[in-house]
Homo-oligomer: A and B are copies of this chain.
């Protein structure tokens, strides 16, 4: 079975080293330190303007950058550790993909806006590089447990590139860069639908009836809550980091803080309402409590009032929880979209909700802009995501990337040395056994 040649010994190191060496060469050619001076290229107005304002102390944004950094590496990484036997991959591959994505993202984003032929690295650009990684990590959630590290590096390379094109289009052609400050559209909706398109291409009929490792154990759910809570706490930084300093940035913090708080109440309420005997479901709590951060993203720096932000968060918590309960099973069974982490419910629908809220808010004059352009930005993000994701999925399906066989899905031991377990824990022994079959 050449399609299941899962041994990574040569193909993974060669790919990883090649990508990194190419990246270092491109950095040597294009990337320099920020010198505080910015040329008049006039292209990325928001960035330039922002950078001018903070130019006196180049580290003003640093605390917010670190909050975003924590979201990317701890937040996304641990959120995905809920699977009982896939924690190493979740937090480990999250680190690998994000470390490559931030380098590649800085290049892709920077090449559109060269300043004297160079990319000048500021904290602002590092935040944007971290942002670009978020799209990959969202898509990673959709295919979690069903892809090899090699496939995922390929996905990172392609997704960041396509993200960069869509971001440029939205920011420079549609001129709505200032009106997706928390990136509901260009990150969350984009990353989700990109991942869903990939998942559709990689559909596995054999997993229709689930997989014994596609679930959590008690402690893995607690590890996942580390991710959830760090994402929840620092989301105000995510949505405000690139806002205009001053009142706009404070508004973005405030709106996100209250949207998330309202979202928690509605997510808990609906989880209890739809679950067996009124019990709370960890899947909802780990994810739907964050939907308020996604959905308020586009409007975060608009004058929608704290109660407006709370309404958005409240609705997002309901929509997201209902999505996990009712929509995810339908997507899997009827459309062949096996969305491991339910990114459609956390990033997809709330991202669209955020885009629509932005259209409405701009139409109501809450911020300067054009409702039509907002709608075009949403459509562009969805279009690039679906088409780009489908193409990427097809490439990932090529047989030599070491995709894991069905029985080894959701199992770290195919790509990791997993410690021997103590007596009494038989499940891992099963995992090892099935893995051996695959390698034979």
Is B277 in contact with A215, judged by CB distance below 8 angstroms?
A: no
Q: Which residues of B contact A225 (CB under 8 A)?
A: 77, 91-92
**Contact: B229 with A226, CB < 8 Å?**
no
Residues 76-108 of A, flagged 1 when their CB comes within 8 A of B and 0 if not, give 011001001101100110011001101100000
- Chain B residues within 8 Å of A229, by CB: 73-74, 77, 91, 95
**Given known contacts A12-B278, A13-B273, A278-B9, A425 and B424 CB-to-CB distance under 8 angstroms:** yes
Interface string of A35-71 (1 = CB under 8 A from B): 1100000000000000000000111001110110110
Q: Does A33 lie within 8 Å of B99, measured CB to CB?
A: no
A426: Cβ under 8 A from any B Cβ: yes
Docked Cα-Cα span, A89 to B225, in Å, equals 11
- A365–chain B nearest beta-carbon distance, Å: 16
A116: chain B residues within 8 A (beta carbon): none
- Evaluate contact between A272 and B8: CB separation under 8 angstroms: yes
Q: Output the nearest chain B residue to A263 by Cβ-Cβ distance.
A: B99
A81: which B residues are within 8 A, CB to CB?
Answer: 222
Which of the segments A202-210, A254-262, A352-360 contacts the partner chain?
A: A254-262
Name which of A174-182, A230-238, A332-340, A381-389 contacts chain B: A230-238
Report copies per complex.
3
A416 contacts B by Cβ under 8 Å? yes
Q: Is the CB of A253 within 8 A of B59?
A: yes
A391 at the interface (CB under 8 A from B): no
* Nearest chain B residue, comparing its CB with the CB of A72: B233
Q: Are B17 and A269 in contact (CB under 8 A)?
A: yes
Find out whether the CB atom of B96 lies under 8 angstroms from the CB atom of A268: yes
Complex Cα distance, B126 from A276, in Å, reads 36
- A95 cross-chain contacts in B, Cβ below 8 A: 229, 232, 264, 285, 289
Given A285-B92, A425-B424: A254 and B126 within 8 A (CB)? yes
- A245 adjacent to chain B (CB < 8 Å): yes
Closest Cβ neighbor of A153 among chain B residues? B265
A221 at the interface (CB under 8 A from B): yes
Contact with B along A420-431 (1 / 0, CB 8 A): 111111111000
Q: Which of A139-147, A165-173, A185-193, A307-315 contacts B (4 or more CB under 8 A)?
A: A307-315
B34 touches A250 (CB 8 A): yes
A232 to B102, CA, bound (A): 14
User: For chain A residues 130-162, which have a beta carbon within 8 Å of chain B?
Assistant: 149
In the complex, whether A418 has a CB less than 8 A from a CB of chain B is: yes
Q: Report the nearest B residue to A264, measured CB to CB.
A: B99
Q: A13-B272, A282-B416, A417-B282 are in contact. Are A20 and B260 (CB under 8 A)?
A: no
A residues apposed to B, CB below 8 Å: 7-10, 12-14, 16-17, 19-20, 23-25, 27-28, 31-36, 57-59, 62-64, 66-67, 69-70, 73-74, 77-78, 81, 84-85, 87-88, 91-92, 95-96, 99-100, 102-103, 121-123, 126, 149, 215-219, 221-223, 225-226, 229-230, 232-234, 237, 245-247, 249-251, 253-254, 257-258, 260-262, 264-266, 268-270, 272-273, 275-282, 285, 289, 303, 305-307, 310-311, 314, 415-428, 439
Assuming A87-B222, A91-B225, what are 5 further A-B pairs, CB within 8 angstroms? Answer: A20-B265, A27-B258, A32-B306, A33-B305, A34-B254
